[in-house]
Amino acid sequence: MNTYLICGLGNPGDKYAETRHNIGFKALEEIYSGGDFDDPKEEKKFSSLISSSQSGDKKIILALPLTYMNKSGEAIQKIKSYFKIPKQNIIIIYDDIDLPPGEIRIRKKGGPGTHNGMKSIIQSLGTEDFARIRIGIGEPYPPQKDLSTYVLEPFTKKEKETLDPKIKNIPTIVKDFLETGIEAAMNKWN
């Protein structure tokens, strides 16, 4: 059986729920709402909310790390090790300040940029070689604002109107990745 890990990045707690930095959590909630997965349950040994499903010869684990963004790698490493998930079967969904609001980009690998969650994951896994779905939250963000302040603010009404329909595509993007592979998903969605 092939095991896949789909992880949405964000910060736990109501205080952060509607912030730009939590778009990875929102994307996973969209997958949960499709009905193929049970609501996530807290798994302390993984420092995450976890849900899983099976489709043919694939086991799919959805994870929302509860470690706060800058320690996301700790949770992902625990899940990867426990389930013996190969790096090519990991997809990280997260916010990207360098993309316009709602723009979605799929990549096979790459550096973390300014994203502390991705820095943590790359450090914990010891590689940049895993798939990611980047969801735009910026470009340009107001130059007078500190980046950490900007990502922890809620979306504006206009941003939500742009983002909400795009987030609805995430379950289909993930399904395409699982069924046809990263290259085909990139060709279709990028």
Spell out the long-range contacts of 8-16 with Cβ–Cβ below 8 A and sequence spacing 24 or more.
8/62, 8/63, 8/64, 8/93, 8/94, 9/65, 9/69, 9/72, 9/92, 9/93, 9/94, 9/95, 9/117, 9/118, 10/64, 10/69, 11/68, 11/69, 12/64, 12/66, 12/68, 16/152
Query: Distance between CA 18 and CA 25 in Å, rounded?
Result: 10
Per-residue confidence (pLDDT) for residue 7, from 0 to 100: 97
**Domain of residue 94, CATH code:** 3.40.50.1470
- Provide the number of structural domains found in the chain: 1
CB count in 10 Å sphere of residue 126: 10
Give me the catalytic one of 11, 20, 21, 61: 21
**Does 64 have pLDDT greater than 80?**
yes
Per-residue confidence (pLDDT) for residue 140, from 0 to 100: 66
Banded pLDDT at 141 (limits 50, 70, 90)? low
CB count in 10 Å sphere of residue 83: 15
Six token digits for residue 28: 């996973």
Instruction: Out of 59-63, 111-115, 132-136, pick the least confident.
Output: 111-115
Q: Output 46 or 98, whichever has higher pLDDT.
A: 46
Per-residue confidence (pLDDT) for residue 39, from 0 to 100: 85
Helical segments of 105-181, H only: 116-125, 147-151, 157-167, 170-180
Domain ranges, residue 24: 2-189
How far apart, in Å, are the Cα atoms of 28 and each of 94, 103, 145? 10, 17, 28
Six token digits for residue 99: 């993309």
Banded pLDDT at 113 (limits 50, 70, 90)? confident
Task: Assess whether 21 carries a catalytic annotation.
Answer: yes
182 Cβ partners below 8 Å, 6+ apart?
Answer: 88, 106, 108, 131
100 Cβ partners below 8 Å, 6+ apart?
Answer: 136, 138, 139
**Does 40 have pLDDT greater than 70?**
yes
Please give the sequence-ordered ranges of beta strands (E in DSSP) within 34-125, or none if there are none: 41-43, 48-55, 58-65, 90-96, 104-107
Mean pLDDT value across residues 85-109: 94
